[in-house]
Chain A
Amino acid sequence: MAVLNAKNREIQCKIVYYGPGRSGKTTNLEFIHKNYTKQVAGKMISIDTHGDRTLFFDFLPLGLGKIKGCDIKAQLYTVPGQVQYRSTRELVLKGVDGIVFVADSLKVRREKNMLSLKDMHENLKKIGIDIRKIPLVFQYNKRDLEKQGFPLMPFEKMDHELNRQLRVPSFNASALTGESVGKTLSGIMKLTLQNLQKEFQWAQNR
């Protein structure tokens, strides 16, 4: 749940990067941390990574400037993708305002994407959030591997399989090269702020 501090005119929202293990959620945050230095409002914290697996979560605070007189702050989180860390995913989702679902474009990960989306749906339901109502964007990651000749799923196919019913914005991206990492973040922030504006009516108070 976003925090609106009316006195300081500050809005703080929580964005969660969700997706199967190894789909590139942490890489997204690392790219933002390295390349959006003006917006980064604190240290990036990666708790308990075992090798390059995220077992807990990553956290990155951002300051995104002012909109209609309000300071917009976002806290970016990732969830651990591995199946066995379901309770941690549920915990990280608490109070979420917007979600980036990072899907792996590799053909061999097709089923894992679908299972992870189902898992997210169930976890959201558990905490009383309707997947159709929460701001959500899809990111089809690892598109850079196409140039190296690896078998990837086409954008249209991924969008059809994952986004057919939800019909939310979706982006081809490469978190490793940074392609569309910013676009994805802007996409989710736009939806989240529109949603919060409806909820708080903050922009009209000015």
Chain B
Amino acid sequence: MRFDEKIKSLVKEAELYRSQGLLNEALDTYKKMQVLIESTQNVKNKETLLKKISNKVDALYHQMEEELSDIKPPEVSKDEQDAIENLIPKDDPEAKGSPEMAAALSLAKTGQFDQAIEKFTQLLSQDSLRFDAAKNIVWCWIQQKEVEKALGRVKQWMVGNVLSLDEVNGVRAYFEALVKELGLDAQISTVNIQKKLEPESEVEDQDILDINSTRFKLLRGSRKGEEVELEISFQAGKYLKMLVPKRDRQLIESVNVGDRFNGMQFYSPMAIFSGTGYVSSKVTISAGPKKGDYSLEIKILNIQT
């Protein structure tokens, strides 16, 4: 092939690659032309040709730089959001059979963090999804490098009633691991996140008698003000564990971690006494014959003599 035909063919090829967005391939072809022109003697307008190619190469580098620059997730329309929400099927293990969780995860993984956080927040009311929803809220904030906002949320849960003690500890550990992994831990060095979760008890374990059952007044919900009596299934000093059957959902929804019951009655075989109790944990039993029932833990803070 004659020199000028060869150059024409290479120009055509490079332009095709560029038009197809194949920038590396276009660049390689222009560089091939540069070498060919430089190594060929008696080329007419050699300098002008090389200058033109050099301009093309610069433009390609500029375009490549633009393409590699950080692109923020886009704002999406309602239709687009619907399409995103269907990306993860509800039978995906991560979604735990919940279409709402699947939708929230899909939004989170495509960078639609605000919408995802909104959906995860709604899922905090579902016992089986609460822990994962909370972790994902933290994940969404961290992905946006909003460490303070993530921390704010964790702190909220530490003092509030939304998560059980175990759950809040789990979320806190997850948050700490995540910030460390992303090298963002320096940002939280001044924040004390080892905040005490439970109020101190004024009584020693050995001072508490074996308790058979306890009676307290519900503080919220449709049964607010009603007195309920629950049998103690396990006692470890000042910590009392009770089982609440899943059919008694109204009761369990009326009790939250962090609730404080003044004037609680404690029934032991030897005496009845009263005091203040603090709800330290509320979890759904996930295995065994009592699966689906709830385990409620109350810490005795003081005894009135």
Contacts and interface: CB of A to CB of B under 8 A. Distances in A.
Interface of A: 1, 21-22, 43, 45, 47-48, 50-53, 55-57, 59, 75, 87-88, 91-92, 94-95, 106, 108-109, 145, 148-151
B84 interface: yes
A47 B74 contact: yes
Contacts of B28: 108
Given A88-B110, A94-B88, A45 B67 contact: no
Contacts of B89: 1, 94-95
A45 B16 contact: no
A108 B92 contact: no
Interface residues of B, number: 28
Interface stretch (B75-83, B156-164, B201-209, B265-273): B75-83
Contacts of B9: 149
Given A56-B74, A94-B92, A151-B13, 9 more contacts: A47-B80, A50-B71, A53-B21, A95-B91, A106-B17, A108-B17, A108-B25, A109-B25, A149-B9
Interface of B: 9, 12-13, 16-17, 20-22, 25, 28, 67, 71, 73-74, 76, 79-80, 83-84, 86-89, 91-92, 106, 109-110
Contacts of B21: 21-22, 51-53
Contacts of B86: 75
Task: Determine the main DSSP class of A at the interface with B.
Answer: mixed
A50 B106 CA distance: 21
Contacts of A55: 71
Contact of B83 (A50, A59, A108): A59
A196 to B, nearest CB: 14
